Structure 1
């Protein structure tokens, strides 16, 4: 659903309010942006009003980074928010199918009505619990999973559970990628980090300006620093989010050189 950007208050005008059993959902406009919030203090999603397919938050842009190394035919997004990530994927990958799971039906309605989420055969949004949805995904049924599960004031604990990591890994193809948005870095000697290492022979990490940690896991051992010289420039033409600059902030977290390549 988005990251937690903590400010005294979100500046702008509240242009729409909806409510469901989980609380308020606010749409806020400032001069350039449209913001989704659940409580008017924390930003859940943010887009440029003139270019709704361009994610604004750096962490959101960073979650797209696995596409530098692999263009997925099938993408699964856990958590919709205002749809910035899903809309960006739809623009960036014109041949790919994108499956999104979002817990709150009102959030889906607002993403369509207020955040210009495309109506497309390639972009399907299912209302349901993403934690359960990932358990039910068939083995090797998706090439990339991007998980961004947040409530009004915290990250969903599901993202830090070993069972969740195993379920994501099982659903990924043999060369698949997982990208997780964490509010803090997992402990190196903790169960979560050990599970990530068990499931993914290559782990990369990106620290955002808002101190979010995006962790990337790839199912196949490879060298992430061997890239065509024009790769990031090519992607920048499709979706101008600053790929070269983002790539410079990616670092190796762990690598299992004993894994099968």
Structure 2
């Protein structure tokens, strides 16, 4: 959803494809070693490093990987929102899931992923075209990790502001599972848009990881609490660094419990 600093000398992007569907315009552009998926004219939704489509460029997607500390080698992973597919590619390349199901509303996004953005052809990846709300309502207790990353051209999806939707997402977890939510921060508050609602649903012991792009990642366990053992997490991140090509330590350092975040006004 946001671009990090790729280069101080980025060349102008050229348009590879532009299509219009029932939800608006999709554009695929290319600049230097990267390809980008845009929703509309301005909303950069995804970034793919063409030499390695499993590379995660954005801080918020890298931070999402922290869920694998608590749920190593998950049997079933569900992604609500596919984007360009880099998160799915990374999970398949580095974390040995039994299977990944990605639910995407727009067929044109999936087509662009396969044609331009290096979306994996791994047989463990199962893509479902349709509404995330309907899918999650029909699949209780179906996954070990659930990543919620639903955005449209105008910004955050209405679903990511609804208590009933998040309650159903939580019910989709198996015992020991983890729900990962990509939210925007509410201005300079340091809290997510739906922060009050989420604390009413899940209490104030779940984990938050704010990132510089303005997103805040939320990690909610199926039950109990997630162990925030930063020493163990650093060792885990160091073991992954050579394979990933970047360190997850910055996101570990910023991890906190919701109760330790800034107070609501």
Flag whether TM exceeds 0.5 (same fold): yes
Query: How do 1:69-108 residues align onto structure 2 when only pairs under 5 Å count?
Result: 69-71=70-72, 72-108=74-110
Which residue of the partner structure matches residue 246 of structure 2? 241
Gaps of 5+ in 1: 256-261
Once the two structures are superposed, residues 34-71 of structure 1 have per-residue CA deviations (whole angstroms, 9 ceiling, x without a partner) of: 10001231210012121111111111111111112221
How far residue 135 of structure 1 moved from its aligned partner, in angstroms, is 0.9
Give the CA deviation at 1:104.
Answer: 0.3
SS of structure 1 residue aligned to 2:40: coil
Which residue number corresponds to residue 259 of structure 1?
Answer: none
Match of 2:16 in 1: 15
> Is there any run of 5+ residues in structure 2 with no aligned partner, and where?
5-10, 186-190, 261-265
Mapped partners of 1:183, 1:229: distance in 2:
26
Give the conservation status (yes or no) of the 8 Å contact 1:76–1:98: yes
- What CA distance in whole angstroms lies between the structure 2 residues aligned with 1:233 and 1:189? 31
Q: How does 1:120-199 map to 2 (within 5 A)?
A: 120-138=122-140, 140-184=141-185, 185-186=191-192, 190-197=196-203
SS in 2 for 1:241: coil
Cα gap change, 1:43 to 1:187, in 2 (>3 Å): closer
Taking a change above 3 Å as real, the CA distance of residues 75 and 154 of structure 1, as seen in their structure-2 partners, is same
CA distance in structure 2 between the aligned counterparts of 1:142 and 1:188, rounded to whole angstroms: 23
Instruction: Report deviation, 1:33.
Output: 1.1
Q: For 1:106-117, list aligned pairs within 5 A.
A: 106-117=108-119
Residue in structure 1 matched with residue 211 of structure 2 by the alignment: 208
3-state SS, counterpart of residue 213 of structure 2: coil
Of 216, 219, 225 in structure 1, the residue corresponding to residue 229 of structure 2 is 225
1:226-261 deviation line (CA, Å, top 9, x unaligned)? 626631122223323321222112122149xxxxxx
- Distance in structure 2 (CA, Å) of the matches to 1:188 and 1:168: 15
User: Over the residues paired in the alignment, what is the CA RMSD in angstroms?
Assistant: 2.2
Task: Quote the offset at 1:99 in angstroms.
Answer: 0.6
What SS class does the counterpart of residue 62 from structure 2 fall into? helix
Verify the 8 A CA contact 1:55 1:88 in the aligned structure 2: yes
Q: TM-score normalized by structure 2? A: 0.86
| CA displacement at 1:153 relative to structure 2 | 2.0
Residue pair 1:79, 1:102 contacting (<8 A) in 2 also: yes
Tell whether the 8 Å contact from 2:2 to 2:58 is kept in structure 1 after alignment.
no
Deviation per residue, 1:10-38 (Å, 9 max, x gap): 94111111221111110011112110001
Cα gap change, 1:5 to 1:32, in 2 (>3 Å): closer
**Distance in 2 separating the partners of 1:46 and 1:29:** 10
